Chain A
Amino acid sequence: GQQVMQIPQYQHVQEGEDFTTYCNSSTTLSNIQWYKQRPGGHPVFLIQLVKSGEVKKQKRLTFQFGEAKKNSSLHITATQTTDVGTYFCAGPYSSYKLIFGSGTRLLVRP
Chain B
Amino acid sequence: DVKVTQSSRYLVKRTGEKVFLECVQDMDHENMFWYRQDPGLGLRLIYFSYDVKMKEKGDIPEGYSVSREKKERFSLILESASTNQTSMYLCASRFGTGRNSPLHFGNGTRLTVT
* Partner-B contacts on A (CB < 8 A): 1, 6, 9, 30-31, 33, 35, 41-45, 48, 50, 88, 90, 92, 95-103
B31 → chain A, closest Cβ, in Å? 6
Task: Tell me the count of chain B residues lying within 8 A, CB to CB, of chain A.
Answer: 25
Q: Check if B42 sits within 8 Å of A102, measured CB to CB.
A: yes
Residues of A within 8 A of B42 (CB): 6, 88, 100-103
Q: How far is the CA of A48 from the CA of B44 in the complex (A)?
A: 20
Q: A43-B43, A88-B43, A102-B40 are in contact. Are A95 and B103 (CB under 8 A)?
A: no
* Partner-A contacts on B (CB < 8 A): 31, 33, 35, 40-45, 48, 50, 56, 58-59, 90, 97, 99-100, 102-108
Q: Check if A45 sits within 8 Å of B103, measured CB to CB.
A: yes
Q: How far is the CA of A35 from the CA of B102 in the complex (A)?
A: 9
A69 → chain B, closest Cβ, in Å? 13
Number of A-B contacts (CB under 8 A): 56
Q: A88-B43, A101-B42 are in contact. Are A42 and B108 (CB under 8 A)?
A: yes
Q: Check if A96 sits within 8 Å of B102, measured CB to CB.
A: no
Q: How far is the CA of A48 from the CA of B101 in the complex (A)?
A: 9
Residues of B within 8 A of A88 (CB): 42-43
Residues of B within 8 A of A41 (CB): 107
Q: How far is the CA of A5 from the CA of B50 in the complex (A)?
A: 26
A1 → chain B, closest Cβ, in Å? 8
Residues of A within 8 A of B41 (CB): 102
Considering the complex, give the chain B residue whose CB is closest to the CB of A47.
B102
Q: Check if B105 sits within 8 Å of A96, measured CB to CB.
A: no
